[in-house]
Structure formats: C-alpha cells, structure tokens
Amino acid sequence: MSFWAFVVNASYFIAAVLFIYGLKRMGSPKTAKNGIKVAGAGMLLATIFTFFNPAIHGGAWNYILMIIAIAIGGGAAWVSGKKVQMTAMPQMVALYNGMGGGAAAAIALVEMYSHEAFMHGNAVIIMAVLGAMIGGVSFSGSLIAWAKLEGKMQKTLRLPGQQIINGVIVLLVVVLGLCIIGSNVSAPVLVTFFFLACLVFGILLTLPIGGADMPVVISMYNAFTGLAVAFEGYVIGNPAMIIAGMVVGAAGSLLTWLMATAMNRSIGNVLFAGFGVDEGSTSEDPEGEMKAVEAFDAAASFAYADSLIVVPGYGLAVAQAQHKLWEFVQMLHKEHGVDVKFAIHPVAGRMPGHMNVLLAEAGVPYDMIYDLDEINPEFPNADAALVIGANDVVNPAAKEDKGSPIYGMPILNVNAAREVYVIKRGKGTGFSGVQNALFFGDNTRMVFGDAKQVCADLSNGLKQL
C-alpha cells in the first residue's frame, strides 16, 4: 500500500468515527446541533481526501467536471437551505433524500454501462444492481413525497388493481435484475429498462400513500438511500461511502420502525393499506357541533388554571407561531404561576422531530417537552389542554371508533383534560382526511383563526386580566 493510499484510508476511518459520534450527539436536543457539525466535518474530510486521491481520477478534465458539479450542487443547496421555511423543511428533506438515492443509482448505471462492474465478479454486479434498484425507487418515490407535501399533487391516488400492477412491476424488476447479473458483458438495453422499471415502481408505491404517513415514508426512503450508497461504495471500492451508507441505512430503518410502532401499524400496512383513503371506512361523523370561543375567554381560563399541557401540530408550523406561543407561555407561567408542559407525539408534523425543532427554535427549554408515554398519564390531572394545529394525533377515534382508519394508533389523551381549547384555522379534517371527534367534545372549545394571531391575542388577553 502506498503512503497516499494509507493516508486516504486513515481519513476514511476518522470520517467514520466522526459520523458515528455525530449521530450519537444527535440523540439529544441539547447536543444535536453539535452532532450535525461533527458529522458534517466527517463528510467534509472524506470528500476532500477523495477529491485529491489521484488513484481514482482520470486526469484534469475529470477534476474540472467535479469542480463544476460541486459548485452547482453546493451553491443550490446553500441558497435553498438559507431560504427554506420550517414549514417547507419536510419536503426539502424528501427532495434532498431523493437526490441522494438518484446519485447512488447514477453511480451504478455508469459502472454497468461502462462494463466496469462486470470486470470484478458477480459480487460487484449484484451490489450494482441492488444499488440501482433501491436508489431508483428512493429517487422517484421521494420526488412523489415531495410533490405531495408541497401541495403539487393529490394526497392519494389509487389505480384500479393497484397491488396487482405493483406486483407485476416488482416481478419485472427482479427478472431484469437477474438477467443483468447473469450476463457476462455490459447490457445497456437491459440496464435501461431495469432502471426505468425501478423508477416506475417507486412512483406507484408512493402514489396511494396518504399524507399522514409521509413522515414514515420519508424515513423509509432515507434508509433506502443509505443502503444504495453503501452498495455503490462497495462497487467502486470506497470505504467512506460504505460506512456512511450503512450508518444512514441502519438509523433510517430503526427510525422507520419506531415511527410505525408509534402509529401501531406495520411497515407493510403503511405502504399498502392506503391510510387516509376513505374506501372501506365504516367510521361515522362525530355528533354535535364545534363550540367556538374568543381568544380572551381562553386566556382567562388558562390564567386561573394550575396546570396546562400544550400540544403543538403542523398548524403551528404553517403559521410560524412558535415564538408567539412561547411568549404567551412565559407570561402565563411568570405572572400567573401556571405549570405548563409541552406534549409531542412521535409523528406530529410532517417529519420526525418537526415539532421539537420548532419549539427549540423559539427557546422552549428541553425539560418542558415531553413525549407521548411521559405526558399521557398527566392529562387527567391537567386543568386545561391547548391544541395548536394538531389533528390526527389527538383524535379519540383512534381509541373509540373501530371503523376509523386510524383505529389503534396511539394518541395524546387530550380529551382527558378538564378543559380543552383548540386553535384551528377552519373546520376541515386533518391531513389524513379523518374527522376529529375531539373538536365536538363537551369539554372542548374552538378558537378559530391563524395560530400566530391567536397566540398574540392570548397574550393580550392575559394583559387585560
């Protein structure tokens, strides 16, 4: 081994350590920001030493192409990252995740088109085929997820005989993949049809999935992208890609499983049950009507309460109301002595950790934020609960209505509080399309309006008391 090869491999080892340590730091809100920087430093280190490794580049022209690609990709990412709003963060994650899967698939295609993969034995060919398949599915599926979250596509679209069509496409992908593996020479036509079939399958797999399942789907495609990168790292002999891909794949797989478990559903049910589609639902609309009150009345009720549990949802993100909410909560605690806690459901928002990030951005201390298992026993003893833009994660139908599509999904037991106030823009259903029985409860009052304005009105109401 040459000295330069030793240095490159040593840099990859250090990068791997930084990846794993950074991921560990991301496990706590207090250290997550530092963890991102540590993992980013590892990626930068691996990229620099790969870029300057003369053993894998074929001349000055390749360096020029790489510099152009880095400038375009890095510039676009920098600009979009600076401009993106928190409300658009989920779709950006889906988009970037899809780009990663597409990049891994592109590496596989180049290796197969150029005959390079066929020169290193069946193991490399198999990895190239698997990487192209998983990367292609992640690429097209993530783009559909982005389009749904961005509002550019109908939430769900189920074709007649959807599962049969999907089965035929999967069979076609498998057959074409085996044909490529069994061939001893480059087969551009087979490779092209194989990759196109993978793209079609990713589209068809994602189209029927309801919006409420998007956090799980994004996490799953993130795991797919990681695995595709790891496979292609093996194909081109890059240890850094193998390690980084396996870390992302393992973390994404675990997160996907945890989120599906939090919804009391299997991954297969998420992918194939069409959650959020009304077909076959025997659920009945809640009886009664929503009872509206003004923000001042809600503020007065909170001021005389001993304890309040706040449940943030996607409506908080849409209105960018987290700062106004925290201003109100501080006033409530300092001037009226109310004990306030925040309750976060595992799938609140549009991606994992969405609500935690919003609250941290506003300066809410971590010790005031509780997850579902910690906070649920406290709702029966709470004087009041304030729901801001959350819907499905507080819907009692998940426990009480066996005909509901969300039956069996663990929820925050908001209806057990003595009084419940819900800030909501209108009377529509949540992202899953399921009507919420909580809004019609005897102890529930609705405060209609933009969450940011309502939170400001709540603060003004406290000032008038």
DSSP string, 300-322: HHHHT-SEEEEEE-HHHHHHT-H
| DSSP code string of 422-452 | EEESSS---TT-PPPGGGG-TTEEEEES-HH
Query: What's the CA gap between 77 and 66, in Å, rounded?
Result: 16
* CA 291 to mean position of chain CA atoms: 34
Token pair of 408 as six digits: 């069996």
C-alpha count within 13 angstroms, C-beta hemisphere, residue 274: 15
Reference 388, options 352, 419, 349; nearest CA is: 349
CA atoms within 13 A on the CB side of 36: 5
DSSP-assigned beta bridge partners for residue 165: none
Token pair, residue 153, equals 């596509």
Q: Under 8 Å CB-to-CB from 50, ≥6 apart: which residues?
A: 8, 56, 238, 240
Closest CA to 312 of 299, 321, 303: 321
d(CA 100, CA 352): 19
- Calpha distance 17→364 (Å, rounded): 32
For CA atoms 382, 383, 388, 394, give the dihedral sign: positive
Please state, in angstroms and rounded to a whole number, the distance separating the CA atoms of residues 234 and 147.
32
**Cα 220 to Cα 198: distance, rounded to the nearest angstrom:** 16
Strand order in the sheet with 369-371: 369-371, 339-344, 307-312, 384-388, 419-424, 444-448
Alpha-carbon dihedral sign for residues 165, 277, 395, 90: positive
Q: Which amino acid is at 409?
A: M
Torsion of the alpha carbons at 56, 59, 64 and 70, rounded to the nearest 10: 0
CA–CA distance, 199 with 16 (Å, rounded to integer): 31
Which of these is catalytic: 278, 383, 392, 450?
392
Our answer to whether residue 442 is catalytic in this structure is no
Angle 159-94-247 (CA atoms, 0-180°, nearest 5)? 115
**Residue whose pair of structure tokens reads 């509206």 in the numeric block:** 292
Which amino acids are annotated catalytic?
392
